[in-house]
Amino acid sequence: MRTGLNRRSLLSRGGSLAPLVGLGLLAGATPAAAETGAQESRLLPLLGTWAVEVTFPSVNRPPEAGLFAFVADGVLVATTTGAGHLSLGSWRLASGGFSFSFRHFMYADDDGTWTGEVRIEQTGTFTSSSWRATGTGTAFDTEGNQVAVVQSATTATRY
């Protein structure tokens, strides 16, 4: 019986193992940040998972519910009821708080055709159990032409 690692077997199973590796990265992020110094300790309140509400004060659009996850290495994973699917981005320290940006694709409701993307940029402040941020969402069509800029505000609570 052979006990060594079989390269082909590992490669064929890699796709099914990838989500588990990703969860391991999310779960292991906080302790690593806690050990790295004073600047990172300021971030500890932000790291982890959040239930969010996004409002649009300048347009007649209903609020969106969402879930965000801030990871220690600056990765942001987000989804909202408006996007309807996963959004990816990054976050970083900013003067007096933090800033984040992410993108999500837009699709036509009737047939699911890709119609463009939205690029969200917000700046916020946090406490140990909540945060608030404001900024813009800029929509682009599939050719990269800017079609709209909308102000938005996000409030979040830890879950």
pLDDT tens, residue by residue, 108-146 = 777 888 899 999 999 999 887 899 999 999 999 999 999
Among 63, 59, 75, 89, smallest CA distance to 25 is for: 75
> How is residue 3 written in tokens?
């006990």
Among 35, 68, 23, smallest CA distance to 49 is for: 68
C-alpha to C-alpha distance for 46 and 72, rounded to whole angstroms:
9
Among 129, 136, 124, smallest CA distance to 49 is for: 129
C-alpha to C-alpha distance for 138 and 147, rounded to whole angstroms:
8
pLDDT tens, residue by residue, 37-83 = 455 555 568 899 999 999 999 888 999 999 999 998 999 999 999 88
